[in-house]
Amino acid sequence: MWSFLQKTAGEGFLAAREDGRLLGYALFVPSLRAVQRRAFLSGTAFRWALRALTGQYDMQLRGLLRTFQNKVFFLFQGQRYRTRGDAQLLNVAVDPDAQGRGIAKQLLDAGMKAMRALQIPEVRLEVRPWNTAAVALYRNTGWREVGRTRDLEGEWIVMVANP
């Protein structure tokens, strides 16, 4: 999946490294619909589903069904709170040993710079309310809450920012 997203996201797939060690990454996509369309039209989504169903991802059937339900649920709610475009910050993560050094902020800044270079007017993200460190980081870097949504696991805060 990561190699597919890396090819699809291009400049929005960012990594922070130090002495060859991965400290963190961020994944911005200029168009979520384009990623979804490419996954289906290329057959990649079907290969992922087949691998999951044949046990190659080490998931139990119940977990697979729940994941599928969440994806369908999110797909139908995906356009809520969108005002301009469908660019998305899909993920940002920093190694726990490297946290507190400003790496996530640097990744966010670099991702927004990449989106600005592509003339993307707005980027959206979803974050769990209990992830208070991430919520604070996003607010401190210009993201604003525009609504809330839910999936089977609970609530998400929907935030947007302008590159």
Q: Determine the Cα angle at 72 with ends 70 and 74, to 5°.
A: 65
Of 83, 76, 90, 120, which is closest to residue 6 (Cα–Cα)? Answer: 90
| Structure tokens, 103 | 């790496």
Task: Provide the terminal-to-terminal Cα distance of the chain, rounded to the nearest Å.
Answer: 26
Query: With 70 as the cut, is the pLDDT of residue 26 above it?
Result: yes
Residue 91: what pLDDT? 92
Reported as a single tens digit per residue, the pLDDT across 93-147 is 999 999 999 999 999 999 999 999 999 999 999 999 999 999 999 999 999 999 9
For 116-138, the DSSP string reads HHTT---EEEEE-TT-HHHHHHH
For the chain, what is the radius of gyration of the CA atoms? 16
| Structure tokens, 139 | 């607010």
Rounded CA-CA distance 36/38 in Å is 5
Reported as a single tens digit per residue, the pLDDT across 48-94 is 666 666 666 665 555 555 555 555 555 556 556 666 788 999 999 99
| Structure tokens, 88 | 């998305």
- Is domain 2-32+81-161 annotated with CATH 3.30.300.30? no
pTM listed for this prediction: 0.78
| Structure tokens, 93 | 């993560």
